[in-house]
Amino acid sequence: MAEKTKKFHVITWGCQMNVDDSDQIENLLLSDGLEKADSLEDADVVMLNTCSVRQKPEDKVFSQLGILAELKQARPDMVIGVTGCMAQRAGAEIARRAPHIDLIAGTAQLERIPELVRTRQSLLESGAAKQNAPSDVLIQLQLPRKKEESQLYLPERKRVTTGKLKSFVSIMYGCDKFCQFCIVPHTRGKERSRPASEIIGEVEYLAQHGTKEVCLLGQTVNSYGLKGLEATCSFSELLRRVDAVDGIERIRFTSPYPKDFTDDVIEAMASLPAVCEQVHLPVQVGDDVLLKRMNRGYTLDQYRTIVAKLRAAMPDIVITTDLMLGFPGETEEQVQNTLDFVEEIRFDQAFMFIYSPRHPTPAAKMPDQIPQPVKVERLERLIAIQNRIVVEKNNQYAAERRVYDVLVEGASPKHPGQWHGLTRGGKTVNFDAHRNLTGHTVKVRALEGHLWGFMGELV
């Protein structure tokens, strides 16, 4: 009797980089002969791709590991693995608290996952693995030792799964900025850029298999080419080369770092047809003293200058940001400065959150940590202001009956009978249509503004 094909299931928390890493894990396991499972219960291999930027996603991982402990008891041959930033930061702790898992792979060791899975399966089948102590867990956590070391796994990132309308493409890894609150340099390693030729080859491959929109990824994506391999170019030149790929209709990138946002990038955004008029530009806070204490490397005036240049070059550009309240020592006056800055810039959207201590970052050891109830109250005030601005702006655009080019992604998940897609600025639009327009770019007039986007009509 032929041996049953093993199946896998990947669970992902965190940023777009983690989503892209999960795609690569799936491709690696598919290339190794496994199949995708329809559900967690059907899987022979379960990989948890984790986030460590705040405490909440880490708590969710341990909660999921508790559920998997019951499945593992019922099915001892199941292989459970943990990867991602939390694995890199706290691999030993995970092994200690969840000795029923089988492997831990760091952020730069994804290419080892199929080998680790096979090794663990062999140990389980032979009865050599007892799974009752942290020492039984297979752990690979080595980060690249030099900036010149590129990501080793799938250098060409060949994709077994294709046909996605939108795809992420990682162009660099790691971060050298060392903001006082941020765990990323500790979990992702030093900045290192992929060769431009590999990136363009991947984009061409995706375009040939149905992708129309790519989002270029990096922890500080516009730092591309500043450090790392010699076979790179500037970020603006990379945008030009991706724009020239036949079949790619839209290009986005995230997240740029304000300190490295240069005029040539703005010029490329304004002049290249496929590059969308949208940018996510994290500011974190609206106070210069806090920015300096955070080691962000820019002032509010420098940030204002970038925003002014972007809006002068692209009047309809959509600008979104990250905002964080509750940094150690933050005063009520500094909170008000952030609220005032949000009123001044009028972001189109924002990811808003409270500071969460992350060891071993310097901020976690700072005195004057803000009590949790105070942080929550400050965040609620920020959310109320930013959400009001979003609705005001979207209502204004709807009142003007603006017409948008919308790339249709499919049936609306929240509005039955309607279709939905994104504008070039990344705003969601729902509208009626009498046929399936998935994958098509259509013109839609905004009729109603909402916090989430627009209700519109097909033009």
The residues, any chain, with a CB within 8 Å of residue 360's CB and separated by 6 or more, are 186
**What separation in angstroms does the CA of 100 have from each of 77, 93, 168, 341, 345?**
11, 13, 33, 49, 50
* Model pLDDT for residues 40-88, shown as the tens digit of each residue: 999 999 999 999 998 999 999 999 999 999 999 999 999 999 999 999 9
Give dist(CA 404, CA 423) in Å, integer.
6
- Please indicate if the annotation marks 182 as binding a ligand: yes
Q: What is the pLDDT along the chain (459 residues), one digit of tens a residue?
A: 457 899 999 999 999 999 999 999 998 999 899 999 999 999 999 999 999 998 999 999 999 999 999 999 999 999 999 999 999 999 999 999 999 999 999 998 998 999 999 999 988 888 766 555 555 688 888 876 554 454 444 445 556 656 789 999 999 999 999 999 999 999 998 888 988 998 999 999 999 999 999 999 999 999 999 876 667 899 999 999 999 999 999 999 999 999 999 999 999 999 999 999 999 999 999 999 999 999 999 999 999 999 999 999 999 999 999 999 999 999 999 999 999 999 999 999 999 999 999 999 999 999 999 999 999 999 999 999 999 999 999 999 999 999 999 999 999 988 888 999 999 999 999 999 989 999 999 999 999 999 999 999 999
pTM of the model: 0.93
Helix (H) or strand (E) holding 319: strand 318-325
pLDDT of residue 448: 97
Give dist(CA 267, CA 52) in Å, integer.
35
**CATH entry 2.40.50 includes domain 400-458:** yes
Q: Which residue has the tokens 């796994």?
A: 153
- Please indicate if the annotation marks 276 as binding a ligand: no
Q: Where are the domains of the chain?
A: 7-140, 400-458
Q: Which CATH superfamily is domain 7-140 in?
A: Methylthiotransferase, N-terminal domain (3.40.50.12160)
Give dist(CA 194, CA 236) in Å, integer.
15
Exposed, middle or buried: residue 165 (CB in 10 Å: 0-12, 13-18, 19+)?
middle
pLDDT of residue 257: 97
Backbone angles phi, psi at 38, to 5 degrees: -75, -25
The CA R_g of the chain, rounded to the nearest whole Å, is: 23
The answer to whether 431 touches 455, Cβ cutoff 8 Å, is yes
Mean pLDDT value across the chain? 92
Torsion over CA: 310, 236, 350, 257 (sign): negative
pLDDT of residue 416: 87
- Please indicate if the annotation marks 215 as binding a ligand: no
pLDDT of residue 232: 83
Which token pair is 151? 């990501």
pLDDT of residue 152: 41
* Model pLDDT for residues 103-161, shown as the tens digit of each residue: 999 998 998 999 999 999 988 888 766 555 555 688 888 876 554 454 444 445 556 65
**What separation in angstroms does the CA of 60 have from each of 51, 53, 65, 277, 324?**
10, 13, 9, 35, 21
Which token pair is 96? 């200690």
The answer to whether 210 touches 165, Cβ cutoff 8 Å, is yes
The three-state secondary structure class of 207 is helix
pLDDT of residue 281: 98
Give dist(CA 252, CA 242) in Å, integer.
11
The answer to whether 84 touches 60, Cβ cutoff 8 Å, is no
Helix (H) or strand (E) holding 442: strand 441-449
Helix (H) or strand (E) holding 403: strand 403-411
- Please indicate if the annotation marks 85 as binding a ligand: yes
Give dist(CA 6, CA 37) in Å, integer.
9
Q: Which residue has the tokens 């550009």?
A: 317
- Please indicate if the annotation marks 175 as binding a ligand: yes
The three-state secondary structure class of 289 is helix
DSSP state of 53: S
